[in-house]
Chain A
């Protein structure tokens, strides 16, 4: 394995972890917005407690992917930023507004109308940001064309998948009726995700022929694709049977597998209006080596800290 491949793999890893953690935080925001029924207030509270202590640490994964991208593949970073500048700008606006809205509403210093207003901002940006993140992924797969039905469909898929993940996680940290609420939401989002995925597939054949063709090219990719579909069904079954812990495991593996399939289908090339084969777009080897060495050292420091964070908050945080 060459250095650029390792670096790209690390970026991919950061993106997967971001989807599994930060993505779920967005999804939790969606359920905050859509809280309904007699327990709407409790649902909102569960969401705020679950993401409060961790969302800032989760957010760092995207920063990480970004920093590694501009360190290791500066040309590709510039190309992505300039071709996708509209969805990126919307993502950024969403991230800034959402994070601010969350802390503003969390610290109990707001008057009632202010809280209502910032709650609305938090909910809406929790929907718009994953949508735009998905549109970016769609744009990167389709020659930089993000203003297309295909890219929009990928955006919707990202939104629904994040909401699905969040509902599964929330079902695991709640109990009783509240858990049932989130379990039902997880099933609904899971089924919806399947429907949207079929739609994305149909559009991809035309809009992103290269990636579409690659998806089923070769045994490994075929296995990954069918494995993902089997996992999705298994996860839904676990949810029906109320085995939420198994469903959580299934959901995590499934989302990681979806992203891995996409990453492999990109075939080591960024498909923008100008393609970037990774070997050619990489920084000099000593820069890659240093960035990877720092990442290894950093991981050694961070892993115990992350484990500690999770242990402290096992079973949800106390209201902040």
Chain B
């Protein structure tokens, strides 16, 4: 299931964010009537079609896997049913307008094109938010004793997770496209198409990266309060301390209850957790070890997310600086090369962040209510389909990358 989810999340992210970029290109065309905006929209749309289709079918696998692999979890099916039902409708809406936009663009008016792509963007965002409600419920199931169908939306984790995930989707795709079109500009300098594409991508990346930093900080403060075990595992913080240090890097030695090879910044962890350098931060030692997640895994995943996110924040600040100084979108070759390197940064951060949230919740599947081990199927035969689906995803992933590569660069050589 984790493999299916990890695969699906990449396509879901594209399905949420690509329509917003498409909408921008369509609106830019409405304003300027420059045909290159349309060409850009058509090329992005083809890529979106592939990503969306693979996302849709891999999502189906997920909903069946709930029953196949997690019979124990589905005993609480009624409680997560409402957000999933809403998600079903949002997805339906998205699929309808995607069909209209992708296949009907020559049959409908430009105004209808804008409406369809806006409908896709809105329902994509809604889908993401509904799914995060389910996840938030698993992290922090407030009021589980009172069976209210809207319970998932009342989880205190919901607003933090929904905002953090939505920003992650937009930011990941902005950096991915910035990297792709930076590569295009490096290959054929002066290409107006790539220049326009890069401009849109950076216009999204510049404000979103710092916003994500703020959302990440608020989420961390919330996790420190509500899920202290996860917070301590993220930071590999073993001993309760006032003026707790923030450790940069390092590998936890769980046996010795120590973090080795890390650079400590005194007081910063307290500040991060509670906004006060002197405050006390609970360490893992406060909790029975059987309730700890895999500390090494969670800590490393968290560091990966922070490094990838930090690199994106830095890149967006540099981009803003260059843009303001030159009064046009930056095209310095060294900066384009950096963007190419950063193309997967957002997706990596998304995957790592998701692992922090999910692995950090272990041993629970619904925190404090249901243990993962009690929810999982007892049918041992499931290993075969799991291996089969993993191989299938590898095949599809490789195919998608090959196709999109050809798509991005083929038109290039035709020009």
Write the residues of chain A forming the contact surface with B, with a CB cutoff of 8 angstroms: 52-54, 56-57, 59-60, 62-64, 66-68, 70-72, 74-75, 77-78, 80-82, 85, 88-89, 92-93, 95-100, 102-104, 106-107, 109-110, 283-284, 286-287, 289-291, 294-295, 298, 301-302, 305-306, 308-309, 312-313, 317-318, 320
Write the residues of chain B forming the contact surface with A, with a CB cutoff of 8 angstroms: 46, 49-50, 52-54, 56-61, 63-64, 66-68, 71, 74-79, 81-82, 84-89, 91-93, 95-100, 102-104, 106-108, 119, 147-150, 377, 379, 381-382, 385, 388-389, 392, 396, 399, 403, 406-407, 410
Q: Does B385 lie within 8 Å of A89, measured CB to CB?
A: yes
Contacts of B78 in A (CB 8 A): 71-72, 74, 283-284, 287
Most buried by A among B81, B82, B99, B147: B81
With A57-B96, A85-B379, A92-B61: A283-B77 Cβ-Cβ less than 8 Å? yes
Q: Does A57 lie within 8 Å of B57, measured CB to CB?
A: no
CB < 8 Å neighbour of B89 from A57, A294, A318: A294
Contacts of A75 in B (CB 8 A): 75
Q: Does A295 lie within 8 Å of B85, measured CB to CB?
A: yes
Complex CA distance for A306 and B94, rounded to whole angstroms: 11
B180 vs chain A, min Cβ distance (A): 15
Decide if the interface of chain A is mainly helix, strand, loop or mixed: helix
B338 vs chain A, min Cβ distance (A): 28
Contacts of B57 in A (CB 8 A): 59, 95-96, 98-100
A151 vs chain B, min Cβ distance (A): 19
- B147 to chain A: closest residue by CB: A284
With A67-B88, A284-B147, A286-B149: A60-B67 Cβ-Cβ less than 8 Å? no
Most buried by B among A287, A301, A317: A287
Q: Does B399 lie within 8 Å of A100, measured CB to CB?
A: yes
Q: Does B149 lie within 8 Å of A290, measured CB to CB?
A: yes
Q: Does B77 lie within 8 Å of A96, measured CB to CB?
A: no
Contacts of A306 in B (CB 8 A): 96
B377 vs chain A, min Cβ distance (A): 7
Q: Does A71 lie within 8 Å of B60, measured CB to CB?
A: no
A72 vs chain B, min Cβ distance (A): 7
Q: Does B50 lie within 8 Å of A283, measured CB to CB?
A: no
Contacts of A82 in B (CB 8 A): 67-68, 71, 377, 379
Question: 19 additional contacts, CB 8 Å, given A82-B379, A103-B49?
Answer: A53-B103, A56-B56, A59-B95, A63-B88, A81-B67, A88-B64, A93-B389, A93-B392, A100-B53, A283-B77, A283-B78, A284-B78, A291-B81, A294-B89, A295-B89, A298-B85, A301-B93, A308-B96, A312-B104
Complex CA distance for A88 and B68, rounded to whole angstroms: 9
Q: Does B86 lie within 8 Å of A294, measured CB to CB?
A: yes
- B149 to chain A: closest residue by CB: A290
Complex CA distance for A103 and B79, rounded to whole angstroms: 35
Complex CA distance for A92 and B389, rounded to whole angstroms: 9
CB < 8 Å neighbour of B92 from A77, A89, A110, A298: A298
A76 vs chain B, min Cβ distance (A): 10
With A64-B88, A81-B71, A89-B385: A305-B77 Cβ-Cβ less than 8 Å? no
B64 vs chain A, min Cβ distance (A): 6
B372 vs chain A, min Cβ distance (A): 16
Q: Does B71 lie within 8 Å of A56, measured CB to CB?
A: no
Contacts of A286 in B (CB 8 A): 147-149
Contacts of A95 in B (CB 8 A): 57, 60-61
Q: Does A287 lie within 8 Å of B99, measured CB to CB?
A: no
Complex CA distance for A70 and B76, rounded to whole angstroms: 10
Most buried by A among B49, B79, B92, B388: B92
CB < 8 Å neighbour of A66 from B64, B150, B382, B389: B64
Contacts of B71 in A (CB 8 A): 78, 81-82
Complex CA distance for A104 and B86, rounded to whole angstroms: 29
B83 vs chain A, min Cβ distance (A): 10
Complex CA distance for A298 and B87, rounded to whole angstroms: 10
Q: Does B66 lie within 8 Å of A70, measured CB to CB?
A: yes
Contacts of B54 in A (CB 8 A): 99-100, 103
Could you show 20 A-B contacts with beta carbons less than 8 Å apart? A53-B103, A59-B95, A66-B60, A67-B63, A67-B87, A71-B85, A77-B66, A78-B77, A81-B68, A92-B61, A100-B54, A103-B49, A107-B403, A283-B81, A287-B78, A287-B79, A291-B149, A294-B86, A302-B93, A313-B104
With A56-B98, A107-B46, A301-B89: A93-B108 Cβ-Cβ less than 8 Å? no
Contacts of B93 in A (CB 8 A): 301-302, 305
Complex CA distance for A302 and B71, rounded to whole angstroms: 32
Complex CA distance for A302 and B79, rounded to whole angstroms: 24
Q: Does B84 lie within 8 Å of A67, measured CB to CB?
A: yes
With A67-B85, A291-B85, A306-B96: A77-B67 Cβ-Cβ less than 8 Å? yes
B199 vs chain A, min Cβ distance (A): 25
With A295-B85, A298-B89: A312-B53 Cβ-Cβ less than 8 Å? no
Complex CA distance for A77 and B75, rounded to whole angstroms: 10
* Top 4 A-B pairs, shortest CB-CB distance: A71-B81, A81-B67, A74-B77, A53-B103
Contacts of B149 in A (CB 8 A): 286-287, 289-291
Contacts of A93 in B (CB 8 A): 385, 388-389, 392
A212 vs chain B, min Cβ distance (A): 27
Contacts of B396 in A (CB 8 A): 96, 100
B181 vs chain A, min Cβ distance (A): 18
With A71-B85, A96-B396, A107-B407: A317-B60 Cβ-Cβ less than 8 Å? no
- A49 to chain B: closest residue by CB: B103
Complex CA distance for A266 and B386, rounded to whole angstroms: 32
Q: Does B403 lie within 8 Å of A57, measured CB to CB?
A: no
Q: Does A109 lie within 8 Å of B81, measured CB to CB?
A: no
With A67-B85, A103-B49, A104-B50: A85-B68 Cβ-Cβ less than 8 Å? yes
- B388 to chain A: closest residue by CB: A93
With A72-B81, A103-B49, A294-B85: A89-B68 Cβ-Cβ less than 8 Å? yes
